[in-house]
Amino acid sequence: MNLRIYFDIPVYLILLFAVISGGLAYLMYRRLEGISKPRQIFLGSLRAVSFFLLFLSAANLVTNFARIREEKRSVLLLVDDSKSMLLSDGGTPRSSVVNDILASRFFQKISGDFKVTPVVFGGRVLKSTSLDSLKFDQPSTNIESALVDASNLGSDGDAAFAVLLSDGDYNSGGNPLDAARNLAFPVFTVGVGDSTRPSDVIVRQVISAPSIYAGKKSVVRAIVTSTGFGGKSVTAYLMEDGKEIDSKELTLPNEGDVEASFNYTPATVGTHVLTAYVPPQQGEFNRKNNSSSTTVDVLKGKYSILLVAGEPASDVAFLRRNTEEGGDYDVNVLIQKDGDNFYTHNPPDQSDIGNILSQNYDAVLLYDFPTGQSKKTLSEVSGLLNASGVPFVYFAGKDFSAEQVSRLPRLPFVPQSLQPGEFQVGISPMTSSSVGLQPLQTLLSSRSSLFPPLYYQRIDCRPVFGAVSLAVPVLNGVRLVSPVFLVDQSTRSAAFLAYGLWRLQLMGSLSGLSGDFLHDFLSTLLRTLINSGKQRLLTVHTDKRVYDPSETVNFNALLVDQSGSPVDGAAVDVNIEKDPGRQSVADIRLTGETNGAYVGSMGGLGAGKYAFVANARSASSYFGADSGTVVVEPMNTEFVQTAMNVQIMRQLASVTGGKFLTPREFMNGGLQIRPDWRTPLTLTDTKKFELLSLLPILAVVIMLLSFEWITRKIWGLP
């Protein structure tokens, strides 16, 4: 290591400053009487040093101290730490081959000549990981991220080359060739594994709709890959939460995929784990890939709806028919006849109307109700809406009465006045930032231009706080200010203030509107309101739905107050329980960050389904709770492709200027190291000092001048 000093001004100028400083000091002291020669030299030296430092400061002298050292160039060692490295080829696990390479004489020689920097990767790159900590347990392989990380590590030019130890079977991230083309150094790929596809049966994927409905039949598909078992008959099974629910006979191809289609009719609401499974066959290469799992959210499939109408209008029949269509809703209908007398869908005795209104409903539809004759029934309906908080939709009709309608609770609008006269209007959609309203907004935006004219009385109204206007009426080409369609997710209520809905079905075909639009609109609106619920102050979710047992479950939470402002500094505790039996397995406290965010993680969960409940509280407040489900299932992602991907390994070497090697070739010194790679790097560490900006220098000058003055006074000099 060498230490050198550089100046930003010429050395001759520094010498000139020194000469001038010494000359000035000499001139000031040479004629001073009553002082001995040694004292004259001592005081003159103090004055000369002070002048010299002042001259350098005035010239803003920058002094550079450079430390020059030599270092070995680095070699980036990319090691595949995924589960596929536990597969055996010819009885030898690939992980053992990797360990043999790392213990080989040739690799030890590389370690002596170069600085080896490990890049251990699987689905993600492990930071600051040594080669002694290889576990070969990551549930996926992302070679692209490893190459990007290597590119960043070698960006300063000290990397001589890189060595990639892998079977090349990437199953996450992008194509690694894209990242390899940006590397500034060659990559030597060492292919670990057999490139010949062994005899194997693999359940590669389970495909299902993410959300299905209880009691409703659906189809679940499983993709089975076969190699070497052509013509063999096997039975594939579908299991829900570990219980068999269907099976299918399959004839395996010799090379390729076959699909198994299962019937699935969920019985209960909630998150369920669906697993497709094929029993291991004699002579299979790997038995860890004979099953695959996914999760489905089973929603309530049959909803109970109450439709109350103030008159027997055509719209009522179309509302009932399009709500019942598809079998997702059971509809009870009450149509006001006179006073508190009603027609019913399946006419019971008059005394049964009270029983109908006292039942539990998932949603209520009100069409042109209440009217001036609605008295007792209005009270009962209002009580139903108030007591249960049931979602409801108000549809206006030709007998709209602002006075009567204002008596309904939880309306999303405040009726102010009604201008007499019936008009025909179009519908113009509005935009909303609410994620929950996106399906409705998308449906209206894509279809409203095809609407036939609807009937409308000019209802002057304004949305209540929290309600969102999704459409306004268009009269004679002019958009009106008052809304025609509103939704309030906080109170789970909506209102549609135009009528003649039958036109959407009977006349819409003339303009190109689908005959299913009214059904789609009602179904989307009802599910939006039913699933909205009240605003939650605490929301907690995990970054995935299904984890491998080797993975860490990461929790993310957001906490807000009633105004929607983030809350920091609260205690957010998560209790994790295992289904079935709800046995508590762990309690963790999430760590608060900023803007109401809280994070935490939990590792070591075994296979199974887990429920978690999170609670948030501060010293003075309880904010509420949130819950969810986590599924831990062994993933076979790493075992879908069992043969080494020799093609990608050769391509990675080729595009970077490296070479593809077998493990034996590498350990026998097949990697030819160029002499210039061994040439050490010359590194210079420079530190700058600016005298003008250094207060210590000025302090030294002041101290020298002060010491000189005090000494002169002690010696009795002027």
Tell me: the pLDDT tens digits for 602-613?
A: 988 888 889 999
Which one is predicted more confidently, 548 or 716? Answer: 548
Average pLDDT (122-135) is: 82
Label the pairing between strands 622-632 and 546-547.
Answer: parallel
At residue 531, the pLDDT reads 78
What stretches of 537-596 adopt beta strand conformation (E)? 538-542, 546-547, 553-559, 571-579, 583-589, 591-592
Tokens, residue 471: 């459409």
At residue 685, the pLDDT reads 64
At residue 108, the pLDDT reads 94
**Any idea which fold 303-532 has?**
Rossmann fold (3.40.50)
**Nearest-5° angle of CA 196, CA 199, CA 202?**
110
At residue 649, the pLDDT reads 96
pTM of the predicted model, to two decimals?
0.60
Q: Is the pLDDT of residue 200 over 50?
A: yes
Tokens, residue 652: 């990675």
Which one is predicted more confidently, 4 or 345? Answer: 345
**What mean pLDDT, rounded, does the chain reach?**
86
Cis ω before 409 (30° cut-off from 0): no
Neighbours of 233 (CB within 10 A): 9
Confidence of residue 212 (pLDDT cuts 50, 70, 90): confident
Which one is predicted more confidently, 109 or 10? Answer: 109
Confidence of residue 687 (pLDDT cuts 50, 70, 90): low
Q: For residue 325, give the 3-state DSSP assignment.
A: coil
Q: Is the pLDDT of residue 48 over 80?
A: no
- As a whole number of angstroms, the distance between CA 612 and CA 575 comes to 6
- As a whole number of angstroms, the distance between CA 480 and CA 157 comes to 66
Average pLDDT (225-230) is: 92
Residue whose C-alpha is closest to residue 504's, from 149, 496, 338, 631: 496
Q: Is the pLDDT of residue 347 over 80?
A: no
Q: Is the pLDDT of residue 44 over 90?
A: no
Average pLDDT (236-256) is: 94
Tokens, residue 267: 């019985």
CATH of 73-196+643-678 among 3.40.50.410, 3.20.20.105, 1.10.10.10, 1.20.1530.20: 3.40.50.410
Average pLDDT (460-482) is: 91
Cβ–Cβ under 8 Å, residues 46 and 707: yes
- As a whole number of angstroms, the distance between CA 693 and CA 682 comes to 30
Cβ–Cβ under 8 Å, residues 513 and 504: yes
Indicate the range of 254-268, 535-549, 648-662 predicted with least confidence: 535-549
Q: Which DSSP state fits 241? A: T
Average pLDDT (564-584) is: 87
Residue whose C-alpha is closest to residue 453's, from 417, 487, 428: 428
What stretches of 433-482 adopt beta strand conformation (E)? 454-463, 468-475, 478-479
Residue whose C-alpha is closest to residue 311's, from 368, 395, 392: 368
At residue 693, the pLDDT reads 52
Indicate the range of 43-52, 232-241, 244-253, 377-386 predicted with least confidence: 43-52
Q: Given the structure tokens 């799992």, which residue do they identify?
A: 293
Residue whose C-alpha is closest to residue 166's, from 653, 716, 710: 653
Q: What are phi and psi of 583, to 5 degrees?
A: -85, 125
- Written as one letter, the residue type at 114 is F
Q: Is the pLDDT of residue 348 over 50?
A: no
Which one is predicted more confidently, 25 or 259? Answer: 259
Residue whose C-alpha is closest to residue 401's, from 417, 386, 414, 385: 417
Of all residues in the chain, the percent with pLDDT exceeding 70 is 90
At residue 350, the pLDDT reads 47
Cα-trace Rg, the chain: 40
At residue 300, the pLDDT reads 77
Q: Is the pLDDT of residue 675 over 70?
A: yes
Label the pairing between strands 392-395 and 493-496.
Answer: parallel
Q: Given the structure tokens 């699909």, which residue do they identify?
A: 259
Which one is predicted more confidently, 700 or 590? Answer: 590
Average pLDDT (95-122) is: 94
Label the pairing between strands 270-277 and 233-240.
Answer: antiparallel
Which residues are within 8 A (CB) of 620 and not within 5 positions of it... i.e. 6 or more apart?
A: none
Confidence of residue 64 (pLDDT cuts 50, 70, 90): low
Q: Is the pLDDT of residue 500 over 60?
A: yes
pLDDT digits (tens, 9 = 90+) for 385-435: 887 789 999 999 988 888 888 889 999 999 887 777 899 999 999 887 676
At residue 563, the pLDDT reads 67
Cβ–Cβ under 8 Å, residues 75 and 115: yes
Average pLDDT (105-126) is: 92
Average pLDDT (245-267) is: 94
Label the pairing between strands 88-89 and 2-7.
Answer: unpaired
Average pLDDT (298-327) is: 88
Q: Is the pLDDT of residue 156 over 80?
A: no
Q: How far is CA 182 from CA 286, 525, 544, in A?
A: 36, 50, 31
**Any idea which fold 538-632 has?**
Immunoglobulin-like (2.60.40)
Q: Would 73-196+643-678 and 538-632 be classified into the same CATH topology?
A: no
Q: Given the structure tokens 């001139």, which residue do they identify?
A: 27
Alpha helix positions (H), 389-516: 402-405, 438-447, 502-506, 508-511
Indicate the range of 261-265, 271-275, 527-531 predicted with least confidence: 527-531
Q: Is the pLDDT of residue 439 over 80?
A: yes
**Crossing angle between the packed helical segments 37-58 and 11-29, to the nearest 10 degrees:** 140
CB-count exposure of residue 588 (10 Å: 0-12, 13-18, 19+): middle
Indicate the range of 45-54, 360-369, 387-396, 534-543 predicted with least confidence: 45-54
At residue 103, the pLDDT reads 93
Which residues are 425's β-sheet partners? 454
Q: Which DSSP state fits 312? A: -
Indicate the range of 72-86, 317-331, 602-616, 677-691 predicted with least confidence: 677-691
Label the pairing between strands 493-496 and 485-488.
Answer: antiparallel
Confidence of residue 290 (pLDDT cuts 50, 70, 90): very high
Domain ranges of the chain: 2-68+687-714, 73-196+643-678, 200-299, 303-532, 538-632
Confidence of residue 679 (pLDDT cuts 50, 70, 90): confident
Confidence of residue 634 (pLDDT cuts 50, 70, 90): confident
Confidence of residue 227 (pLDDT cuts 50, 70, 90): very high
At residue 493, the pLDDT reads 94
CATH 3.40.50.2300 is held by the domain 200-299:
no
